Amino acid sequence: MTRTERPSTITEAAQLLGDSRGSVVFRGGGTKMGWGGRPPDPALVLETGGLTKLLTHNPADMTASAEAGMPLRALQDQLAGAGQWLALDPPTESAGATVGGLLATGDSGPRRLRYGALRDLVIGVTIVLADGTVARAGGHVIKNVAGYDLSKLMYGSMGILALVGEVVLRVHPRPEASATVVVPASVSTAAASTLQLLASPLEPSAVDWVGGRLAVRFEGRKAGVAAQTAAARELLSESAPAEELDESAESALWQEFTAAHGAEHGESVAFAGTLPSRLTAVAEALARAADAAGVEARLASHTALGQHTAHFAGPPEGQAQAFDRWRHVVLALGGTVLLRDRPEEVDKAVDALGPPPSAVGLLRSVKNRLDPDGRIAPGRLGSWI
């Protein structure tokens, strides 16, 4: 029988882990529990819903520390009073994604293009190992090189190494102005325009393609935003008339684009990372795979980042077949693929993780060092570990 605990302090979490036996799964906001492999029912589910405090905020140093169970949207609300924010905009924010869960899964959004991923914004971390040992690394200043970089190790670890208990973060001033240039674009046009943007002196915060539209966002001071949007409109208008959005229209567009990376009930959702120049090949491979399997598929892409979210809708067997065909092409292009949300029936027809990466030996060594008994989330990385 699975036991669920919700500690209110790091000390309590450490004691729970040290005193327990059997497998354990960590749960934050629960927005990504289906990502990767599916662990069997654990002996213990340790929830971080009791670890939700903002511990420190130093506006002058632009740093803050928070307990890992704090929802990102709650953190943003508290930072807003000082005109600051954590420069992160994942699609799972509105669903209650937590700071610790975002670090563990590596989830991010379109503004990663300008501000980097969460791994680039974390300057310190406190973790709890499976045996109850508490470890800390980093500190509360941005220029800090002391100690082993545990924060980078936790990033994208899918909760298989340790419980993330506290996180120290670098924050940014909220931009004074924002505007978005939108242009109708086929996938090939979007790919070409994205490469032009990357080669130009422009510095967009985000470049996304969804539903036949390419959107380019600029943020900063008003004069700089105005100059960059004018230059972007000129560049993008070579293919089609470009429209500039601001205020409510811009907000509505990015909410729509964000939703395009989320999961609908009954769909399979996969995430792929490639070179930005591979966008056309990725999209064409998705269309071919869906046609061959007799299912529907759609793509949403952070084109300048080379990050793509593919949705598969239809019978689970067909979803699995289409995903597997698409994955083979993306891997052949030198990309990476992770199957995220999907119906349970899909797991019967396809391996969610696929072939192990070349660094799987190192991954196994790290796992064995931090969790020698293999207690934490067994099966999350399938046959890799």
pLDDT tens sequence across 143-159? 555 556 889 999 999 99
The residue extents of the domains of the chain are: 3-173, 177-247, 268-347
Structure tokens of 326?
A: 């698409």
Residue bearing tokens 């807003």:
80
pLDDT tens sequence across 335-385? 999 999 999 999 999 998 999 999 999 999 999 999 999 999 999 998 898
pLDDT tens sequence across 303-346? 999 999 999 999 999 999 999 999 999 999 999 999 999 999 99
Which architecture characterizes domain 177-247 according to CATH? Answer: 2-Layer Sandwich (3.30)
pLDDT tens sequence across 242-258? 999 988 999 999 999 99
Residues in Cβ contact with 127 at an 8 Å cutoff, skipping those fewer than 6 apart: 134, 135, 136, 150, 154, 161, 162, 163, 164, 165
pLDDT at 146: 52
Question: Residue 252 carries which side chain, given as an amino acid letter?
Answer: A
CATH number assigned to the domain covering 268-347: 3.30.70.260
Same topology, domains 177-247 and 268-347? Answer is: yes
As a whole number, the mean pLDDT across the chain is 95
Residue 263 binned pLDDT confidence (cut-offs 50, 70, 90): confident
pLDDT score of 284 more than 80: yes
pLDDT above 70 coverage of the chain, percent: 97
> How far is the CA of 335 from the CAs of 117, 260, 263, 366, in angstroms?
18, 21, 22, 23
Mean pLDDT of 194-220: 97
Residues in Cβ contact with 383 at an 8 Å cutoff, skipping those fewer than 6 apart: 351, 353, 356
Q: With a threshold of 0.85, does the pTM exceed it?
A: yes
CATH 3.30.465.10 fits 3-173, yes or no: yes
pLDDT at 141: 57
